Amino acid sequence: MKRARFLIALLMLPLLAGCRPHGRETCEAPGDNPIRYELTAMDTFMTMTIYNQPGDVAQRRLRQAAELLQELEGLLSVTDEDSEIYTANHSGGAPAALSDDTRQLLEEALALCEETEGALDVTVYPLVRAWGFTTGEYRVPEEAELSALLENVGYTRVALDGNTLALPAGMELDLGAVAKGYAGDRIMDLFRSTGMLYSIVELGGNVQALGTKPDGSPWRVAVQAPEGGYAGALEIVGKAVVTSGGYQRYFAQDGQIYCHIMDPATGRPVENGLASVTIVADRGIQADALSTALFVMGRERAEAYWRAHQDFDFILLGEDGTAAVTEGLEDSFSLYGDWEDHPLEIIRK
C-alpha cells in the first residue's frame, strides 16, 4: 500500500504546483523560483517546496526541515529500537524520560483523545498489530482475543508528568495518527520564523501551506477519490489539509473490507459508510488528529463534534458516492473529475 500512497502523492503534485517532479529540485512556473525537496520519512513520501527565495537560502531551509523530519522519526517510530516510543512501549511499566518534542506531541495528542471522547486513542497499537497492519500479515482476530487486547487499550491510563511518561506494562503507544501533523507544524514554524513565506509541504496525505502562492492567489489542493484519481479541489490560504481514508490501507477477507483505522470502542476496523474525512484547520496536529477521529465517529457524530467546536472545517466522502462539506468550505471546495456530478451537501451550523 506504500506504493499506492506514493502514486497518490505524485498525482497530487500537478494540482499543487503545476508540473511533475523530475528530480530532487524542480521548477514549476517561471518567475516564482520554486525549490522542491523530496524525501521519504515516517514511511511516507514527502515533498516540500519554497518559492520566491534565492536557491541557496531555500535549500538550506529545506535541508533543515528534512533533518527535523528525520529527528522526529527517530523519536517517534514504533519499530526503531532506539526511539523514545519504542523504549517506552518496552519499559515494562517503568517511567521513561521523553524529549521536549515527544512530550509536547504526546501532551497535545492526549488532549485530543480526551476531546474526541476516545475516538482518537494513541494506545491502539496492540489492535493495529493484531489485525496485521504492522507486518502486512493480515488476519481477523477472534472476539476473545480482541476483548483481551482491549484491556490494554485506553489513553486515560497514560500518565505524563512533565517529561516523564508512565505507561502501564502491556500498553503501547502509536502516534501514527498525529505525528505527521505535528511534524508539519514544526516545519511551518521553521519556515515562518526564517521568512520562507511562500511554501507548501505535502507529507503523504497531509498538506500544509504558509500564506498564499507568490502571486497572492490561494493554493489549490486536490482531494483524492476513494477509487483513485481526484474527487475535488480545495483552495486554501495558510492552512493544514489532512485526509484519513479507509482506502489508504486495508485488506479484504471473505468479501469484507478491513481498514487500518481502528474503532477503539470495539477493537475493530472502522466500518460506518465513510470513505474518507478531510479536515481543514490552522494546525496540522489538530487536522491530523481530527481526520482520524471523525473517521472513527462516523457522519452523525462528526457533525455534532463540528457544531460543538467550529474551529475547523471538513469534507466527508461517503462510500455511497455522496459528499458533504461544512459551510466554511462552501466557496473554496468543488467536486471535480469523476465526482463532478455527485451530490454535494453543505452542512450548516
Residue 25 or 115 having the CB closest to Mg ion: 115
Residue 53 or 243 having the CB closest to ligand ADP: 243
The least distance separating Mg ion from the CB of residue 312, rounded to whole angstroms, comes to 13
Closest CA to 249 of 81, 2, 78, 14: 2
Q: Which of 9, 120, 188, 234 touches ligand ADP (CB under 6 A)? A: 120
The window from 14-22, 136-144, 148-156, 280-288 that contacts Mg ion (CB under 5 A) reads: 280-288
The least distance separating ligand ADP from the CB of residue 147, rounded to whole angstroms, comes to 17
Site for Mg ion, residues 166 to 195, rule: CB under 5 A: 177
Does the protein bind ligand ADP through residue 292 (CB under 6 A)? yes
Does the protein bind ligand ADP through residue 323 (CB under 6 A)? no
Kindly report the number of other CB atoms within 10 A of residue 252's CB atom.
Answer: 9
Q: Please work out the total of residues on this chain that contact ligand ADP, with binding judged by CB under 6 A.
A: 20
Q: Which of 176, 226, 232, 298 touches ligand ADP (CB under 6 A)? A: 176
Residue 50 or 179 having the CB closest to Mg ion: 179
Does the protein bind ligand ADP through residue 174 (CB under 6 A)? yes
The least distance separating ligand ADP from the CB of residue 51, rounded to whole angstroms, comes to 26
**CA separation for the pair 270, 263 (Å, rounded):** 5
Does the protein bind ligand ADP through residue 69 (CB under 6 A)? no
Residue 53 or 123 having the CB closest to ligand ADP: 123
Does the protein bind ligand ADP through residue 208 (CB under 6 A)? no
Q: Which of 124, 210, 222, 231 touches ligand ADP (CB under 6 A)? A: 124
**CA separation for the pair 280, 241 (Å, rounded):** 5
Does the protein bind Mg ion through residue 41 (CB under 5 A)? no
Rounded (10°) CA dihedral 71, 75, 77, 78:
170
The window from 7-15, 25-33, 169-177, 223-231 that contacts ligand ADP (CB under 6 A) reads: 169-177
Residue 35 or 128 having the CB closest to ligand ADP: 128
The least distance separating ligand ADP from the CB of residue 174, rounded to whole angstroms, comes to 5
Does the protein bind ligand ADP through residue 41 (CB under 6 A)? no
Does the protein bind Mg ion through residue 288 (CB under 5 A)? yes
Residue 17 or 113 having the CB closest to ligand ADP: 113
- Choose the one of ligand ADP, Mg ion, none that binds residue 185, judging by a C-beta under 5 to 8 angstroms depending on kind: none
Q: Which of 77, 291, 326, 332 touches Mg ion (CB under 5 A)? A: 291
**CA separation for the pair 322, 303 (Å, rounded):** 15
| One-letter-per-residue 3-state SS of the chain | CHHHHHHHHHHHHHHHHCCCCCCCCCCCCCCCCCEEEEEEECCEEEEEEECCCCHHHHHHHHHHHHHHHHHHHHHHCCCCCCCHHHHHHCCCCCCEECCHHHHHHHHHHHHHHHHCCCCCCCCCHHHHHHCCCCCCCCCCCCHHHHHHHHCCCCHHHCEEECCEEECCCCCCCCCCCCHHHHHHHHHHHHHHHCCCCCEEEEECCEEEEECCCCCCCCEEEEEECCCCCEEEEEEECCCEEEEEECCCCEEEECCEEEECCEECCCCEECCCCEEEEEEEECCHHHHHHHHHHHHHHHHHHHHHHHHHHCCCEEEEEECCCCEEEEHHHCCCEEECHHHCCCCEEEECC
Which residues bind to ligand ADP, rule: CB under 6 A? 120-122, 124, 128, 174, 176-177, 204-205, 244, 248, 260-262, 264, 288, 291-292, 296
Contact residues: Mg ion, CB under 5 A: 177, 288, 291-292
